[in-house]
Amino acid sequence: MQEETQHQMPLIGDAAPEFIAHTTNGNIKFPSDYAGKWVILFSHPADFTPVCTTEFMTFQSMLPELQKLNTDIIGLSVGTLTGHLAWIESIKNLEYNNWKNMEITFPIIDDINMTVAKKYGMIHSHASDNKTVRAVFFIDPKGIIRAILYYPLTTGRNFDEIKRVLIALQTTDAFGVSTPADWQPGKDVVVPAPATTKEMAERLNTKDKNLDVKSWYLTMKKMPNEMIASKLYNKSVTKNLKK
């Protein structure tokens, strides 16, 4: 039986693995070049492929709003720099989802030797030995991995979910709260549970009208869009948050 080489993927809470790479926007040293910013580092299986093309155009359409959330995007595949450049040039001639003449402006890493892909556990051998799966790493301004999503080669990503996860993570950092199942900006958030009997009694008898105490350990708090936008967004995009 042939022995397989295993590559340990980094985990949530780990420091993002460091690397230096050539990209379509020049050389980058990661994560130090992005200190103080959130980064969505994602992998795609290959250039000139249909699902990846739709994903790249969707990421590019989201980029202005993500940048207002202090977030940059970096793409990666097991491909060459010349291949990446030729592909993004061809995308300019495509029309998809009413987008056309689209220029891909975020960097795409040349990872023909799979150096970065292996550091991040993006090669799943039972899916492909030479193509990355559709991975998404959310990396915070301190260079810490905060969330990870994986999709198979055949399934395009849910970009509403990518945006939702990013805003949820930033909301947690800004307000010290958690977000419940299916949370969307503007919906109630979860406040930390009491840690002592005194705090439990205070929670159960609270007069705070912004709190919805369902149990001593489950309390919801109102957090309107405007409150989130005041910390996360520039004022110009407050109106774009979902109601």
Q: Which positions are annotated as active-site residues?
A: 52
Return the closest-CA partner of residue 44 out of 162, 125, 155.
155
Host H or E run for residue 108: strand 108-110
DSSP symbol at 165: H
- Cα 175 to Cα 80, 150, 219, 221, 238: the distances in Å are 42, 28, 15, 11, 17
187, 224 contact by CB (below 8 A): no
Q: How far apart are CA 78 and CA 114, in angstroms?
A: 6
Return the closest-CA partner of residue 99 out of 68, 151, 63.
63
Count other Cβ atoms within 10 Å, centred on residue 146: 20
Return the closest-CA partner of residue 127 out of 70, 43, 216.
43
Tokens of 101: 């003449």
Q: How far apart are CA 136 and CA 42, in angstroms?
A: 4
Query: In this structure, what are the phi and psi dihedrals at residue 79, rounded to the nearest 5 degrees?
Result: -150, 175
Cα–chain center distance at 90: 26
DSSP symbol at 67: H
56, 44 contact by CB (below 8 A): yes
